[in-house]
Amino acid sequence: MPYLFTSESVSEGHPDKVADQISDNLVDHFLAFDPSSKVACETLVTTGQVVLAGEVKSSTYLDVQQLARDVIRRIGYTKSEYMFEANSCGVLSAIHEQSPDINQGVERAEAEDQGAGDQGMMFGYATDETDNYMPLALDLSHRILRELAAIRKEGKKMKYLRPDSKSQVTIEYDDNHQPIRIDSIVVSTQHDEFDKDKKMLERIREDVIKIVIPRVRKGLKKSLRSLFTDGITYHVNPTGKFVIGGPHGDTGLTGRKIIVDTYGGKGAHGGGAFSGKDPSKVDRSAAYATRHIAKNLVAAGVAGEMLVQVSYAIGVAKPTNIYVNTNGSAKVDLSDAQIAEKVMELFDMRPYAIEKRLKLRNPIYSDTAAYGHMGREPETKKLTFRDGSGKTKTVKVETFTWEKLDYVKKVKTAFGL
């Protein structure tokens, strides 16, 4: 029987995402000047105020206030009427040194024996329903908001847009779990104040349907474009006017959008946030590693979809378990438990090995902090950072290394494909 599945996304101007981006900007700057830095930084944003808190062990000094303002400015909070503005907001730092009790469980005499920065379980997921091996509803939700942000920053159309926005897409699937149509799309976007609210709301609705959605469709392969039919139900700013938004409308916190960050409710999530953490925290690094595993195995043809779980004990290098669930989609004559055994042979899941394999001790995290940590395009780029004394450093990095299909050949060989 056909069924509906829904995922949501939030924009870079959403208060929780503002917090994530500030936290990850600090992580990147610490790693740029001291790759061995240990960072766990949380951010709170509210009306006219930013609060930074957390634990750091690093040899570098940063002007964290300026780094927070840089992020806020880049997102687009640059006008006083937003009640949260880059130059005028207060920034309070309560960052202190990392607990030596935690650090002693992570650092070892031999680097490869590095222990996990915390206990917990992490999940990675992949499905063949999209080219980037992501769930379709989430992928479309992200695409809508990326286009909305691009239009806002271009400044040529929809000039009333403000930074805060949300989207939601509901997909209908058939009995074989294949998407057959888009049932509904929800878009809520912050906008400027207007004299005639009803007329303006009608204009926003029309602009979303006639400007944003065609740009989203254009970026999709032909088979997915056909899902955009005249039968879609659109809910555009369904509560009415949306002038008060961002941190003024709702307090934002680091790590409060972990489902948006991952798979939109498909698969599973271990509960740990990513942003604000250096890669010794397996909440982040192992979540990336399990995504890397799931994506390469699905791309190699082992299964149509795959969920991979790994778990750790704090201070212990070797995982306590690795679990695989193909949800009945396996294309090889092996049980899920047997697939998991081969995964353990192919991928070294000790924290240090993950860091080395995915090049995680690099300043690559700011790009992850909005529009999802998974399903993104790997890229090699040069980035420039500034420390607290004004010294700059340019670093060449590879972003989203966990999205690379660099293990497909190895997987095919291991599974006889």
Q: Known binder of ligand: residue 318?
A: no
Q: Known binder of ligand: residue 28?
A: no
Q: Known binder of ligand: residue 17?
A: no
Q: Known binder of ligand: residue 381?
A: no
Q: Known binder of ligand: residue 257?
A: yes
Q: Known binder of ligand: residue 404?
A: no
Q: Known binder of ligand: residue 336?
A: no
Written as six digits, the tokens of 211 are 């400007």
d(CA 35, CA 33): 6
Q: Known binder of ligand: residue 66?
A: no
Q: Known binder of ligand: residue 195?
A: no
Q: Known binder of ligand: residue 137?
A: no
d(CA 224, CA 255): 31
Q: Known binder of ligand: residue 281?
A: yes
Q: Known binder of ligand: residue 165?
A: yes
Q: Known binder of ligand: residue 196?
A: no
Helix 282-300 with 408-415: angle, nearest 10 deg: 60
Q: Known binder of ligand: residue 273?
A: yes
Q: Known binder of ligand: residue 183?
A: no
b/e map 317-335, b = 16+ CB within 10 Å: bebeebbbbbeeebebebe
Q: Known binder of ligand: residue 193?
A: no
* C-alpha 43 chain-centroid distance: 16
Task: For residue 362, give the nearest of 332, 395, 337 by alpha carbon.
Answer: 395
DSSP character string of 162-226:
EEEEEEEEEEEE-TTS-EEEEEEEEEEEEE---S-HHHHHHHHHHHIIIIIHHHHHHTS-HHHHT
Binding-site sequence positions for ATP: 14, 164-166, 241-242, 250, 256-257, 273, 277
Binding-site sequence positions for L-methionine: 55, 98, 250, 281
Binding-site sequence positions: 14, 16, 42, 55, 98, 164-166, 241-242, 250, 256-257, 273, 277, 281
Binding-site sequence positions for Mg(2+): 16
Binding-site sequence positions for K(+): 42
